[in-house]
Amino acid sequence: MTKRQIVRIDEELCNGCGICVTPCAEGAIEIINGKAKVVREELCDGAGFCLAVCPVGALSIEERAAPAFDEGATHEQAASRGRTYIAQSCFACGNTEDDAPLIPVRQSTWACVRCLPSLIHS
């Protein structure tokens, strides 16, 4: 255990909508019994990409004792859960993942690969 930043989920506020699951590239969050849960703390890097997508403000980052982030475990998790559909859309053009792959560009802001070159060079 080490003291570090990690996501905190307020289960009183969480409505189980599931929007926060796919922004977590590490696969740390799952919906269990209608509530978002950090399934394995070593999967959460504390980056907070999940925070702003929550419609009820149930997610925050706190500093607490937790297992160290384990990048190897995130690769295993990604392999076991397969491809996931990202529910967000491109902030520049509105594309969804049906239109073009999406990547996170800022905390909880996503851009599609079609817009990315012009965003980088503008």
Site string for ligand SF4, 89-118 (x = CB under 6 A): ------------------------------
Task: Out of 3, 22, 41, 54, point to the residue binding ligand SF4 (CB under 6 A).
Answer: 54
Shortest Cβ 9–ligand SF4 spacing (Å):
5
Does 87 bind ligand SF4 (CB under 6 A)? Our answer is no
Considering beta carbons, is residue 60 or 118 the nearer one to ligand SF4? 60
Considering beta carbons, is residue 4 or 35 the nearer one to ligand SF4? 35
Does 67 bind ligand SF4 (CB under 6 A)? Our answer is no
Helix (H) or strand (E) segment spanning residue 106? strand 102-106
Computed from CA positions of residues 90, 94, 97, 101, in that sequence, does the dihedral angle turn out positive or negative?
negative
Distance in angstroms (rounded) separating the CA atoms of residues 56 and 96: 22
Task: Out of 7, 58, 90, 102, point to the residue binding ligand SF4 (CB under 6 A).
Answer: 58
Structure tokens at 56: 């009820």
- Burial class of 31 by CB neighbour count within 10 A (0 to 12, 13 to 18, 19+): middle
Query: To which residue do tokens 């500093």 refer?
Result: 63
